[in-house]
Amino acid sequence: MTVYRWIKKYVALMEKYLEQIEPQVSNTWRADELYFKVQGNMKYLYALMDDQTRFWIAKEVADKKYTTDVAPLFREGKKLAGKAPSTLITDGAFNFHSAFEKAYYRENKALAIRHVRHIHMKGDKNNNRMERFNGELRDREKVTRSLNKSDTPILAGMQIFHNYVRPHMALEGKTPSEAAGIKVEGENKWLTLIQNASKRKN
């Protein structure tokens, strides 16, 4: 519990600091869902990721797979990135399309945003990048075995780790944040983020 309290404290500190920094993401985003357990009960983690930089833009935890309103996920992404995508790639689930129409209604009407659905595992219309991303989260979930609550700071910590700490082979050793124009100095990026967040708070 002592370790968990430290995680809770510092993740909250870093989150508040990082939400003020706008990543330079591309105009193509991907969304998908991943099931995981919270106190033994099945939940779904919806994630929104930039196609080019692999930056994990936003997340939402839900009880159901096909009927959850994920418009807040898309709105959160637009708020963080400072824009809506020109192309959104998802599977064929109806809740993705209804959320797309609600969250990006004005942009879609003015800019004709494209929503690519019914994707396949092979060919140019696939979601393989999201599947690899899901595998990364699944590996981490196996270590924790189960989460204690849906709004656990562990998930936010995983998002920070993915974006700012973990280098990606597909990005030639860069982190998604570096690919998105946000560089974290130092060998211990966790320490740098905490120090920067503490300075901003003070």
Which numeric CATH code is attached to 2-201?
A: 3.30.420.10
Helices (H) and strands (E) in the chain, counts: 8, 5
Decide: pTM greater than 0.75: yes
Q: Which residue has the tokens 């211990």?
A: 188
Higher pLDDT among residues 134 and 92, named by residue: 92
What's the pLDDT at 184? 94
Range of weakest confidence among 92-96, 142-146, 181-185: 142-146
Q: What is the pLDDT of residues 38-75, one digit of tens each?
A: 777 788 889 999 999 999 999 998 888 888 999 999 99
**Rounded mean pLDDT, 126-139:** 68
- For 155-169, write each residue's pLDDT tens digit: 899 899 999 999 998
What average pLDDT does the structure give for the chain? 85
Average pLDDT over residues 176-194: 95
Determine the Cα–Cα distance for residues 128 and 178; give it in Å rounded to an integer: 22
Whether the predicted pLDDT of 92 surpasses 80: yes
CB atoms within 10 A of CB 141: 19
Task: Output the CA–CA distances (angstroms, integers) from residue 191 to 6, 22, 185, 194, in the order listed.
Answer: 13, 21, 10, 5
Please state the φ and ψ torsions of residue 94, each to the nearest 5 degrees: -65, -35
Q: What is the pLDDT of residues 138-147, one digit of tens each?
A: 666 665 555 6
Beta strands in the chain (DSSP E): 28-38, 41-50, 56-62, 87-89, 114-116
> Average pLDDT in the 75-104 region?
92
Q: Domain ranges in the chain?
A: 2-201
